[in-house]
Amino acid sequence: MTDLASSVPESAPPGKPTSASRTTLSHIMTHSDTNLLGTVHGGVIMKLVDDAAGAVAGRHSEGPAVTASMDEMVFLEPVRVGDLVHVKAQVNWTGRTSMEVGVRVLAERWNESTPPTQVGTAYLVFAAVSAEGKPRPVPPVVPETERDERRYQEAQIRRTHRLARRRAIKELRDRRAAEGLND
Ligand SMILES: CC(=O)SCCNC(=O)CCNC(=O)[C@H](O)C(C)(C)COP(=O)(O)OP(=O)(O)OC[C@H]1O[C@@H](n2cnc3c(N)ncnc32)[C@H](O)[C@@H]1OP(=O)(O)O
């Protein structure tokens, strides 16, 4: 298991297990959810993903949490009218004030008992905020299973890449601005 002690800030609240905030949001797709091709609009799925992830982040952090970023939203299969969609979300990783929430989107026909198909995945970062909108510390998530542990380690890799990408782009922009290139 991950050595959480090394990554826990001194002022952090006590740790919370992954299962304490894991949530599933289910919704039947109707004609009002479709795009011009007749399948379900990606934005409709993204709204459900953000809703489920927001509920998880709020539960884990025990207060308001805002979406800071949404990345790696992958649509694996089209979703159709009459599909019962299940959006399963859990906290994969926690920093000082932010949480990565991992989401799996599954779909099954609303009136058939065949197993659901995985139709999408997403990773979102939420920041826990105070009433004034300022970031506040979150409880460290405590992975409970080998799968939770793998997700924790993968989330750390994504965090490292997010920070490195942001830093590299900022450095490029600063360099171009210093050269007088104001684009
Ligand atoms: C539920 C909803 O629908 S909310 C609506 C959509 N979302 C919003 O309106 C949020 C608007 N954005 C904000 O309020 C702010 O930018 C915040 C709160 C997200 C961040 O505020 P900042 O002043 O930049 O705070 P700060 O730099 O300390 O970042 C706070 C944490 O968020 C993380 N973070 C901030 N921006 C990002 C980003 N783009 N990607 C990933 N993580 C981020 C930081 O790494 C930090 O995490 P850590 O404390 O665990 O290391």
CA 64 – CA 59 distance, rounded (Å): 9
User: Taking all residues of the chain, what is their mean pLDDT, rounded to a whole number?
Assistant: 93
Residue 107 has pLDDT above 50, yes or no: yes
Distance from Cα 46 to the centre of ligand 1, integer Å: 19
> Can you read off the two tokens belonging to residue 47?
């709204």
CA angle 14/17/23 to nearest 5° reads: 125
Q: Which of 54, 17, 6, 8 is nearest to 148 (CA)?
A: 17
Find the 68 Cα to ligand 1 centroid distance in Å.
Answer: 4
Give the ipTM of the model, two decimals please: 0.95
Ligand 1 center–CA 162 separation, angstroms: 13
Q: Which atom of ligand 1 is nearest to the CA of 68?
A: 19
Q: The tokens 């197993």 sit on which residue?
A: 115
Domain 12-178, CATH class in plain words: alpha beta
pTM, 2 dp: 0.91
Give residue limits of the domains in the chain: 12-178
Question: What residues line ligand 1, using a CB cutoff of 6 Å?
Answer: 50, 54, 66-69, 95-98, 125, 127, 129, 133, 135, 162
Reply yes or no on whether the pLDDT at 3 is more than 50.
no
Q: Mind listing the pLDDT tens digit for each residue in 117-140?
A: 999 999 999 999 999 999 999 999
- The minimum-distance atom of ligand 1 relative to the CA of 97 is 49
* Mean pLDDT along residues 17-38: 96
Whether the per-residue pLDDT at 6 is higher than 60: the answer is: no
Residue nearest (by alpha carbon) to ligand 1 atom 27? 135
- Cα torsion 53, 146, 20, 158 to 10°: value is -30
Weakest-pLDDT range from 9-23, 99-113, 116-130, 151-165: 9-23
Q: Name the phi and psi angles at 27, rounded to 5.
A: -155, 135
pLDDT over threshold 50, residue 1? no
- Residue whose Cα lies nearest atom 2 of ligand 1: it is 66
Confidence of residue 12 (pLDDT cuts 50, 70, 90): low
- For the CA atoms of 50, 78, 83, 71, the dihedral, rounded to the nearest 10 degrees, stands at -10
End-to-end distance of the chain based on CA atoms, in angstroms?
A: 47
Distance from the alpha carbon of residue 138 to the mean position of ligand 1, in angstroms: 13
pLDDT tens per residue across span 33-79: 999 999 999 999 999 999 999 999 999 999 999 999 998 899 999 99
Site to substitute for ligand 1 among 125, 130, 162, 163, most atoms within 8 A of C-beta: 125
pLDDT at position 18, please? 97
> Residue 119 burial (CB < 10 Å; 0-12/13-18/19+)?
buried
Residue 5 has pLDDT above 50, yes or no: no
Q: Give percent above pLDDT 90 in the chain.
A: 89
